[in-house]
Amino acid sequence: MTSNPSELLSRYFDDLLSEDEHHDLQVWLRSSTDHAWEFARFALLHDRLRGEQLAISLLQPTLADQPRALPVALGRPRRSMVISVGVVMALVAVLMVLLEIGKTPVAAATELKRLIAAQQTELDRTYRIAVEDVPAPQRKRQPVVDGNRPPKPTLDGAILHVRKGNQFVLIRPMAGGRQFVTGSNGRTSWAVRPDGPVRVSTDLTRFNRDLPGHEHEFPLIQIERGLAHLQDAYDIQLLPIENSDDTAAEVSTTRLLVAVKKPGHRGPQRVEITYAVRTGQIRQLRFIEMPYGPEHLTVRLTQEEERPLGPAFFDHQSHHGLDRVVEEE
């Protein structure tokens, strides 16, 4: 066991301490504020060495340029240059944040990848949809009058069930407690109106147009595809967690990731994702100014369940009586 504080400090900053040595270091630090100051002085030198050495590496040929057999990590060309650029970029990113210009910090991008990975599940997901407000259409357009077509049911209060393979069931509430159900089992798409024939089509996109997002790279029935789109087309920012000290609450601790659309890309202006810190499971998605026909909606999807819904749930037969007429289109 090392007892020399200077050696302990040196080994600590080189990440070499054993558990016993780490314990010794903590005891030594606790024993006097002078020791904490000594630690701080060592840390200042350690940090400054990094800065100076990076500056030197930028101005002089690096070891990586020489024909030495270096570890794999060094084998990449001019690694120190990459690191230096990374540090400069970090500082620029901080400055950009200060200037309120969107940039995606490394941590936010990493976190987004974690969320995408967490979406890879065999379980079915159920979301409740809320439409928060419906601003006036940006483009004036006369509503299409079709005597045979009933008014479009609202998305507000709708339930969306989603399964891998573009399978979905969207249940929209209508007046009188009736429902308008559309969906797809990945082989056919279908619509079950409260009355009239059940319509079935082999065109899988035939009945998914009532869900916003499908034409703007953010299909609500493929959340992971939308998340992947965020990586390129949006500036992403992670908001801090401030209530994570309570271990009991940690399981339910959530964090907010905010994505703001870059100029020249399509889709909602802003996407807010509330997710469980521990698992990366998405609790809520909020789309601000999401294009929906001539309108721009603010739509909120709150995940209600994640469980298997059964083999036939995404077939139209599961959503209407046997006596209904089925028309194939």
Partner 1 sequence: MDERTRQATRLWTLAQPVVSVFVVSAVRDFAARDDVLQETAIAVMESFDRYDPQRPFVAWAMGIAQNQVRLYLRRIQRDRLVFDDDVLLQLAVAFEETSPEQSQSLGFLRGCLDQLEGRARELCELRYGHDLKPAAIAESLRMTANTVAKALQRIRDQLRACIERKAAVEGGAP
* Residue 158 lies near partner 1 (rule: CB under 8 A): no
Q: How near is the Cβ of 242 to partner 1 at its closest, in Å?
A: 7
Q: Report strand pairing: 198-201 vs 326-328.
A: parallel
Question: Per CB under 8 A, does 1 bind partner 1?
Answer: no
Q: Which among 86-94, 124-132, 156-164, 304-312 is the span making contact with partner 1, rule CB under 8 A?
A: 86-94
Nearer to partner 1 by Cβ, of 104 and 303: the residue is 104
**Residue from 46, 225, 270, 324 binding partner 1 (CB under 8 A):** 46
Q: How far is the CB of 283 from partner 1 (least distance, A)?
A: 18
Q: Please say which residue, 45 or 117, places its beta carbon nearer to partner 1.
A: 45
46 versus 324: smaller Cβ distance to partner 1 = 46
Output the smallest distance, CB 276 to partner 1, in A: 13
Cβ proximity of 165 and 151 under 8 Å: no
Choice from 119, 179, 197, 242 touching partner 1 (CB under 8 A): 242
Q: Report the alpha-carbon distance of residue 302 to residue 130 in Å, rounded.
A: 8
Going through the chain in order, the beta strands assigned E by DSSP cover 124-133, 159-163, 167-173, 179-184, 189-192, 198-201, 234-238, 254-261, 270-276, 282-292, 295-307, 326-328
CA distances from 209 to 204, 221, 245 (A): 10, 11, 44
CA atoms of 211 and 224, how far apart (whole Å): 16
Q: How far apart are CA 170 and CA 229, in angstroms?
A: 23
Site pattern 262..301 for partner 1 (x: CB under 8 A): ---------------x------------------------
Nearest Cα to Cα of residue 204 among 218, 224, 184, 220:
184
Distance, first Cα to last Cα, the chain: 79
The footprint of partner 1 (CB under 8 A) covers 6-7, 10-17, 19, 22, 26, 29-30, 33, 36-37, 39-50, 52-57, 62-64, 68-71, 73-74, 79-80, 83, 86-87, 90, 93-94, 97-100, 105-107, 110, 237-242, 244-245, 277
